[in-house]
Amino acid sequence: MLQSYVSEIGRSAKSYCEHTARTQPTLSDIVVTLVEMGFNVETLPAYAKRSQRMVITAPPVTNQPVTPKALTAGQNKPHPSHIPGHFPEFPDPHTYIKTPTYREPVSDYQVLREKAASQRRDVERALTRFMAKTGETQSLFKDDVSTFPLIAARPFTVPYLTALLPSELEMQQMEETDSSEQDDQTDTENLPLHITTDDSGPEKENASVLQQNTSLSGSRNGEENMIDNPYLRPVKKPKIRRKK
Amino acid sequence: MNRKKGDKGFESPRPYKLTHQVVCINNINFQRRSVVGYVELTIFPTVANLNRIKLNSKQCRIYRVRVNDLEAAFIYNDPTLEVCHHESKQRNLNYFSNAYAAAVSAVDPDAGNGELCIKVPSELWKHVDELKVLKVHINFSLDQPKGGLHFVVPNMEGSMAERGAHVFSCGYQNSTRFWFPCVDSYSELCTWKLEYTVDAAMVAVSNGDLVETVYTHDMRKKTFHYMLTIPTAASNISLAIGPFEILVDPYMHEVTHFCLPQLLPLLKHTTSYLHEVFEFYEEILTCRYPYSCFKTVFIDEAYVEVAAYASMSIFSTNLLHSAMIIDETPLTRRCLAQALAQQFFGCFISRMSWSDEWVLKGISGYIYGLWMKKTFGVNEYRHWIKQELDQIVAYELKTGGVLLHPIFGGGKEKDNPASHLHFSIKHPHTLSWEYYTMFQCKAHLVMRLIENRISMEFMLQVFNKLLSLASTASSQKFQSHMWSQMLVSTSGFLKSISNVSGKDIQPLIKQWVDQSGVVKFYGSFAFNRKRNVLELEIKQDYTSPGTQKYVGPLKVTVQELDGSFNHTLQIEENSLKHDIPCHSKSRRNKKKKIPLMNGEEVDMDLSAMDADSPLLWIRIDPDMSVLRKVEFEQSDFMWQYQLRYERDVVAQEEAILALEKFPTPASRLALTDILEQEQCFYRVRMLACFCLAKIANSMVSTWTGPPAMKSLFTRMFCCKTCPNIVKTNNFMNFQSYFLQKTMPVAMALLRDVHNLCPKEVLMFILDLIKYNDNRKNKFSDNYYRAELIDALANSVTPAVSVNNEVRTLDNLNPDVRLILEEITRFLNMEKLLPSYRHTITVSCLKAIRVLQKNGHVPSDPALFKSYAEYGHFVDVRIAALEAVVDYTKVDRSYEELQWLLTMVHNDPVPYIRHKILDMLTKNPPFTKNMESPLCNEALVDQLWKLMNSGTSHDWRLRCGAVDLYFTLFGLSRPSCLPLPELGLVLNLKEKKAVLNPTIIPESVVNPQEPVASANNHGQSVGFQSTFSNPQEEEEIDMDTVHDSQAFIYHHLNMLERPSTPGKEQSSGEITMHPVVAAPLSVFSKESNSSKHSDHHHHHHHEHKKKKKKHKHKHKHKHKHDSKEKEKDPFSFSNSPASARSIRSPSLSD
């Protein structure tokens, strides 16, 4: 019974500590556990200081068995102060050595792509199904509304905004790709564009824009106020009404 | 009116000259969609007895007119509101088209007419006689305009500015009269002062320089003052008001861009390119941009994508895009360049008359083409020219000719140069929209032909001359009469061409400008080995509609073993055969390289060719210097050589199209090689994909290896290690991007022996969708994904249906189930993560319609109807509407047709209204020779009403309705109507009347007008034949006279027409015959009216005199009417019935 009581204390203290995202139980975890188990914690200090408490004395010294020296490697850790000296020694240091092992990560390209694709598909399907379940739907089949549920079309008040503005996801993506220029795919290098289509477009242009921007910004700083565009001028106050 | 065509310069059709106009709009109410303002026109009489001033005005409610501060009487009469009158039971299109042309011409400013006729107060007559200045001040308002000004007011919370409400002017050709009274002609130039008072949170963008912006006294509004000192036609005046975001162009501070709230980042990106277009045009024209500033405004619900006005352009907001969008970028840049080209030719330089329109459209289109060549390269340019040429050729062959420079002699219908068309080409406002598009296309192609003739250098010199003359003129004061230099005319243009180049281009002009039609060549050849001569036979078809005979030089390029040689043949009347000597001996040293046209020397595998002939390929008119269609016969290996080795993209495209007819392994190889060749123009490669699919289908039984293009696609776009998985997207190389998009679409067209799409292909496409990964891409993949859905749709084949069972889920084909799964997911994802321009939704809707049509999914328009509602993005709506139109046709649904027509009536977006009619015309539910349950009298009446009066606020829409009517019922009386009960048949087109031949066997010769036979419309009941005695003939005959005279009268004196319908009855001058049911009463009525007309006929001249008196009397009578009307504030709405006459209350007797 005692054993189960003690192990219960340990188990539940551990879960309290894990609950607070720690691995090592602290005093407070134990206290909470004890409180939880109906134990009056207040009485504990008094009990510890009781006069007739039992003290485990060192066992009578017997002849120490001679341990073969060859097997010891390094110095064993000395006992910390709260452990009586007669307790057995810590194990040899080498027993503490650990080599962590991991499961081999899946590095096969095909599997990865497969996984990414199916994962995304599952997420999308789940999400759209959820949306369809919770909202109004349309169906292609009169007799069955659940197999291919379509989220009902809902008109927008300002339809062009959603249609033209890139979504947040895309914006994010753009920032990411901008910071880390695409370099992973070497086999589709940009061939020199022998045909001048718009293709000379964004890339080169950006470059030239940048250049010009820098050259402009130099001169523009001084000029900033000088941009004389009638739409930027302040609105005038009304004059005294003229006679008409 | 009696202006003569010639080089005498411009003679105004008006008895006065407009010099300056003020437009002031004091109040714009977005909630009520109304506008209040005034205009003031400064005019100088040019004749002494000017007592009437005719102006254009539509829709506007005119409160008050003052001339030099004196109240003036005015008449408002707009015959275009209702083209044919209620009482008329006419239902044939010929009649309508003539009446419509007459109505338009009655208010045509180019003929000196107008809807608004102002009487100059008698106190001023003396003043006028001295030709002194008159100031005409008109107060007007506009309530819920249906055309001309378009209000966009989103239905949500917040102030108008927060909602993004805006308004802009729009219309087709000269439509300024819809929003303020003016002389709505491209040839009446004047300077402008424009003032707009708007909400303080709004911006008013208009033409000319913004002089100042001033708050009103309560500080809640502000007034924008614009001055336009360059003489400009009213038709080039525009306006856009809204809570715009303002972007000053970083390269050119005179240029300002405006867009709707939240779109500023897109605007920045989209317009970042504009300065290059500016530079280009200024450089080639060696002329500064004529205006001191330029404004671009991007607005929602645009009427057209691009509209150019003096110093500003109005664009559709849907042209804006971010840097991630590939496909839209070139399209938008094209629109910008187009708009800018029109600034020079179209806005700054205006035209003298409608028949000179082609010069402006031609020049602006031509310099736009030069910009294309410079920006996108020669390949793209030539591809574009070919595309435009194919389009115009197809259109002309279909409809029978597009005439660039119509000349109208005296307004007689007889010499109507466009009798093959169902509309008049005399006015821009009567033209079918498609015709006008093709007209523009032809105009720039003809300019290119002129360039071919006189060289580009001279061409640009001519443009420069026109521009510099105009800019000198523009700075002059109006008295010097120099302003007409800013107007271009055909003769003036041709004159400066001959001055500059010294070349005679008259034959060219005669062929392509003064005459309609294209040339159709058929070519074939034989090689005469003995003489070493190529015998080329070129035939022409010039008898089919839309064709004309070509006589003159024709270039033929022959690629021989020794090189490429140009030959110029003279095409003459009777010579069909042309002998062309060859340079090379047939088979020769294999090792030698073969020189091409461009000087390049290549190795060729000559094993395929005919050992006896040195000919590799032959091209007729390679430079497209004739507007033609060529059908040339040469053997398959020649086409294959042409495809592989000819460097001109046009030749390659022609070869690809020709190879469709040769499904052989050699063709397959040639196409695959082209597909793989990176140096090849991407559009050629894309075209090759589709051809390859067709060839593969024709070769299905002998095809070996994996499905066409599959291994190619795998090699190009899939991972090296796992060929079934596509690489993650990287669209940095645009050529491969376009190819990657196209190949699956083409592959899906493959069919196996059972005429099904191979399972392998379908799985492949599904895998492409599955593994599509755009995370590391710099560009959006929305167009790519959309095309993958298109590919899925392409793979669908008709369902095998067992005795017409109802389509349910259970009997769904498993492949279709997979497809449907994808479509559902994509469509649903669009709701959560919408793609740019909702391209994916558009593709999904199209795919669903394909599934419905093929019988996999029950055919049901409900889904499309919900996507077609107002509030969806315009592309989505169009796609949905297209599906509904298709459904209407396939299922012959009267209900859906009604739904569509209701939308034509009521939809807030003009473009959608136009597009529905357009789509119905292109994909009609039935045509005139078809039996259909949909074709009934109610529909005829409904459509008739739509074009007669329902669409008077939008020229384009009315012409669209006319097109639809034509497609459904043809020119004559619709066959579904009950037979007309009158024996009389009026051929209004030729202004001749005939008796129905079923009544009277021989045609009756009329003393006044010859009576034509034939071409009569409508069948008649035979009752009258029983009465066919001489007297009856006589009577009916008089009737004929009467009616035709009424028509002439109606036609010529449209404006003098009585101002209320009531008068017609009282005067008895215009009487349409009521259709009466009972034969007997017809008979009696007939004789009655014929007596009357008899009288009228004999005293024809007297009547004309009397008419004026009549008119006077009516004025008096009318005043009462109108006064009464004005007591009721709502009486003069824009409805045709009440608006016919609005008289000033101030008119004093």
Position A88 scores a pLDDT of: 80
Answer whether A238 sits within 8 Å of B377, measured CB to CB: no
| Among candidates B733, B780, B873 on the partner chain, residue whose Cβ is nearest the Cβ of A190 | B733
Nearest to B987 by CA among B964, B1021, B1010: B1010
φ, ψ for residue B659, nearest 5 deg: -70, -20
Q: Which residues of A touch B734 (CB under 8 A)?
A: 197-199, 201
pLDDT band at B449 (very low <50, low <70, confident <90, very high): very high
Position A47 scores a pLDDT of: 82
Q: Which residues of B touch A114 (CB under 8 A)?
A: 725
Position A141 scores a pLDDT of: 84
Position A186 scores a pLDDT of: 38
| DSSP conformational letter for B425 | S
In percent, the amount of chain B with pLDDT more than 70 equals 82
Answer whether A238 sits within 8 Å of B216, measured CB to CB: yes
Q: CB-based burial of residue A168 (10 Å sphere; 0-12 exposed, 13-18 middle, 19+ buried)?
A: exposed
What is the distance between the alpha carbons of residues B571 and B431, in angstroms, rounded to a whole number?
A: 34
- Give the gap in angstroms from C-alpha B1 to the nearest C-alpha of chain A: 39
Position A36 scores a pLDDT of: 86
Position B1046 scores a pLDDT of: 43
> To the nearest whole number, what is the mean pLDDT of chain B?
83
Residue in A with minimal Cα distance to B864? A153
Give the mean pLDDT of B384-393: 96
Residue in A with minimal Cα distance to B331? A198
pLDDT band at B1011 (very low <50, low <70, confident <90, very high): very low
What is the distance between the alpha carbons of residues A198 and B779, in angstroms, rounded to a whole number?
A: 14
Residue in B with minimal Cα distance to A178? B778
| pLDDT(B409) > 80 | no
pLDDT band at B191 (very low <50, low <70, confident <90, very high): very high
Position B1144 scores a pLDDT of: 39
What is the distance between the alpha carbons of residues A191 and B734, in angstroms, rounded to a whole number?
A: 10
Number of separate helices (H) and strands (E) present in chain A = 7, 2
- Give the gap in angstroms from C-alpha B906 to the nearest C-alpha of chain A: 17
- Give the gap in angstroms from C-alpha A225 to the nearest C-alpha of chain B: 12
Q: What is the pTM of this model?
A: 0.79
Placement of tokens 């006319």 in the chain: B962
Answer whether B872 sits within 8 Å of A153, measured CB to CB: yes
- The HSE-up count of residue B26 (CA atoms within 13 Å, CB side) is 8
| DSSP conformational letter for A80 | P
- B471 within 8 A of B287, measured Cβ to Cβ: yes
Q: Which of A125, A140, A171, A191 is best to mutate for the B interface (most B CBs within 10 A)?
A: A140
Nearest to B910 by CA among B382, B146, B142, B134: B146
Position A71 scores a pLDDT of: 59
- Give the gap in angstroms from C-alpha A101 to the nearest C-alpha of chain B: 29
Give the mean pLDDT of B27-42: 94
Q: Which residues of B touch A238 (CB under 8 A)?
A: 214-217, 219
Edge to edge, the sheet with strand B116-119 lists B52-55, B116-119, B74-76
pLDDT band at B763 (very low <50, low <70, confident <90, very high): very high
| Among candidates B320, B733, B780 on the partner chain, residue whose Cβ is nearest the Cβ of A188 | B733
| Among candidates A131, A178, A188 on the partner chain, residue whose Cβ is nearest the Cβ of B730 | A188
- B459 within 8 A of B505, measured Cβ to Cβ: no
- The 10s digit of each residue's pLDDT in A167-211 is 877 777 767 666 554 444 433 333 333 333 444 434 444 444 444
Please tell me which residue, B157 or B371, carries the higher pLDDT value. Answer: B371
Position B25 scores a pLDDT of: 95
Q: Which of A109, A143, A199, A223 is best to mutate for the B interface (most B CBs within 10 A)?
A: A199
Q: Which of B252, B776, B826, B850 is best to mutate for the A interface (most A CBs within 10 A)?
A: B776
- The 10s digit of each residue's pLDDT in B59-98 is 999 999 999 999 999 999 999 988 888 666 778 898 899 8
Segment among A122-136, A195-209, B287-301 with least mean pLDDT: A195-209
- B900 within 8 A of B888, measured Cβ to Cβ: yes
- B555 within 8 A of B568, measured Cβ to Cβ: yes
Q: What is the 3-state secondary structure (H, E, C) of B998-1036?
A: CCCCCCCCCCCCCCCCCCCCCCCCHHHHHHCCHHHHHHH
Interacting residues of B388 by C-beta distance below 8 A, sequence separation 6+: B441, B444, B445
Nearest to B63 by CA among B183, B143, B150, B176: B143
| pLDDT(B1114) > 70 | no
Give the mean pLDDT of B1128-1149: 39
| Among candidates B212, B732, B832 on the partner chain, residue whose Cβ is nearest the Cβ of A131 | B832
Answer whether B375 sits within 8 Å of A198, measured CB to CB: yes
Residue in B with minimal Cα distance to A225? B253
Position B1052 scores a pLDDT of: 44
Position B1056 scores a pLDDT of: 42
Give first-to-last CA distance, chain A, whole Å.
Answer: 108
| Among candidates B323, B679, B829 on the partner chain, residue whose Cβ is nearest the Cβ of A124 | B829
What is the distance between the alpha carbons of residues B959 and B965, in angstroms, rounded to a whole number?
A: 10
Q: CB-based burial of residue A47 (10 Å sphere; 0-12 exposed, 13-18 middle, 19+ buried)?
A: exposed
- Give the gap in angstroms from C-alpha B649 to the nearest C-alpha of chain A: 12
Answer whether A147 sits within 8 Å of B809, measured CB to CB: yes
Answer whether A110 sits within 8 Å of B322, measured CB to CB: no
Tokens linked to A2: 């005692």
- Give the gap in angstroms from C-alpha A105 to the nearest C-alpha of chain B: 19
- Give the gap in angstroms from C-alpha B65 to the nearest C-alpha of chain A: 17
Interacting residues of B301 by C-beta distance below 8 A, sequence separation 6+: B150, B152, B874, B908, B909, B910, B911
Residue in A with minimal Cα distance to B200? A235
At B11, the amino acid letter reads: E
Query: Strands B255-259, B221-233: parallel, antiparallel or unpaired by DSSP?
Result: unpaired
* Inter-axis angle of helices B456-474 and B490-501, nearest 10: 120
What is the distance between the alpha carbons of residues B394 and B674, in angstroms, rounded to a whole number?
A: 28
pLDDT band at B418 (very low <50, low <70, confident <90, very high): low
Segment among B82-86, B533-537, B794-798 with least mean pLDDT: B82-86
What is the distance between the alpha carbons of residues B662 and B671, in angstroms, rounded to a whole number?
A: 12
- The 10s digit of each residue's pLDDT in B573-597 is 766 889 999 887 755 556 678 888 8
- The 10s digit of each residue's pLDDT in B1027-1086 is 334 443 333 344 444 444 444 444 444 434 343 333 333 333 333 444 333 343 333 444
What are the beta bridge partners of residue B256? B248, B295
Segment among A51-65, A187-201, B408-422, B599-613 with least mean pLDDT: A187-201
What is the distance between the alpha carbons of residues B561 and B337, in angstroms, rounded to a whole number?
A: 43
At B139, the amino acid letter reads: N
Position B324 scores a pLDDT of: 92
- The 10s digit of each residue's pLDDT in B458-491 is 999 999 999 999 999 888 876 667 888 899 999 9
- Give the gap in angstroms from C-alpha A166 to the nearest C-alpha of chain B: 7
- The 10s digit of each residue's pLDDT in A5-45 is 889 888 888 888 888 888 888 888 888 888 888 888 888 88
Answer whether B272 sits within 8 Å of A205, measured CB to CB: yes
Position B479 scores a pLDDT of: 64
Q: Which residues of B touch A179 (CB under 8 A)?
A: none
DSSP per residue, B650-702: HHHHHHHHHHTT--SHHHHHHHHHHHH-TTS-HHHHHHHHHHHHHHHHHTTTT
Placement of tokens 């240029």 in the chain: B255
Position B979 scores a pLDDT of: 65
Position B413 scores a pLDDT of: 44
Tokens linked to B815: 């492949």
Interacting residues of B457 by C-beta distance below 8 A, sequence separation 6+: none
| Among candidates A138, A201, A233 on the partner chain, residue whose Cβ is nearest the Cβ of B863 | A138
What is the distance between the alpha carbons of residues B791 and B788, in angstroms, rounded to a whole number?
A: 5
What is the distance between the alpha carbons of residues B56 and B112, in angstroms, rounded to a whole number?
A: 10
Nearest to B525 by CA among B432, B653, B634: B634
Answer whether B254 sits within 8 Å of A167, measured CB to CB: no
Answer whether A158 sits within 8 Å of B834, measured CB to CB: no
Tokens linked to B700: 């299905």
A-B CB pairs within 8 A amount to 245
pLDDT band at A90 (very low <50, low <70, confident <90, very high): confident
Give the mean pLDDT of B406-416: 57
Query: Strands B533-540, B519-528: parallel, antiparallel or unpaired by DSSP?
Result: antiparallel
What is the distance between the alpha carbons of residues B798 and B1115, in angstroms, rounded to a whole number?
A: 68
pLDDT band at B404 (very low <50, low <70, confident <90, very high): very high
Answer whether A236 sits within 8 Å of B273, measured CB to CB: no
Tokens linked to B938: 């109610």
Position A135 scores a pLDDT of: 85
Placement of tokens 């030749």 in the chain: B651
Q: Which of A136, A160, A226 is best to mutate for the B interface (most B CBs within 10 A)?
A: A160
| DSSP conformational letter for B948 | I
| Among candidates A125, A164, A203 on the partner chain, residue whose Cβ is nearest the Cβ of B825 | A125
Tokens linked to B1097: 């006929």
| Among candidates B272, B777, B808 on the partner chain, residue whose Cβ is nearest the Cβ of A143 | B808
| Among candidates A153, A170, A196 on the partner chain, residue whose Cβ is nearest the Cβ of B867 | A153
- The 10s digit of each residue's pLDDT in B658-688 is 999 999 999 999 999 999 999 999 999 999 9
What are the CA-CA distances from residue B874 to residues A163, B14, B303, B555, B794 (Å)?
A: 10, 42, 12, 46, 24
Helix, strand or coil for residue B1136? helix
What are the CA-CA distances from residue B643 to residues B85, B384, B659, B667, B713 (Å)?
A: 60, 18, 9, 10, 21
Position A214 scores a pLDDT of: 41
| pLDDT(B1142) > 60 | no
pLDDT band at B807 (very low <50, low <70, confident <90, very high): low
Segment among B211-215, B438-442, B1030-1034 with least mean pLDDT: B1030-1034
Segment among B441-450, B867-876, B1029-1038 with least mean pLDDT: B1029-1038
Answer whether A229 sits within 8 Å of B874, measured CB to CB: no
Answer whether B380 sits within 8 Å of A195, measured CB to CB: yes
Nearest to B646 by CA among B453, B379, B448, B377: B379
Give the mean pLDDT of B109-114: 90
Answer whether A148 sits within 8 Å of B831, measured CB to CB: no
Q: Which residues of B touch A232 (CB under 8 A)?
A: 246, 248
Q: Is A21 left (phi over 0), alpha (psi -120 to 50) or beta?
A: left
Query: Strands B189-199, B615-620: parallel, antiparallel or unpaired by DSSP?
Result: unpaired
Residue in B with minimal Cα distance to A172? B775
Answer whether B722 sits within 8 Å of A233, measured CB to CB: no
| pLDDT(A242) > 80 | no
Answer whether B210 sits within 8 Å of A153, measured CB to CB: no
Position B933 scores a pLDDT of: 85
Position B871 scores a pLDDT of: 93
Position A136 scores a pLDDT of: 86
| pLDDT(B1100) > 90 | no
Position B312 scores a pLDDT of: 95
Residue in A with minimal Cα distance to B226? A230
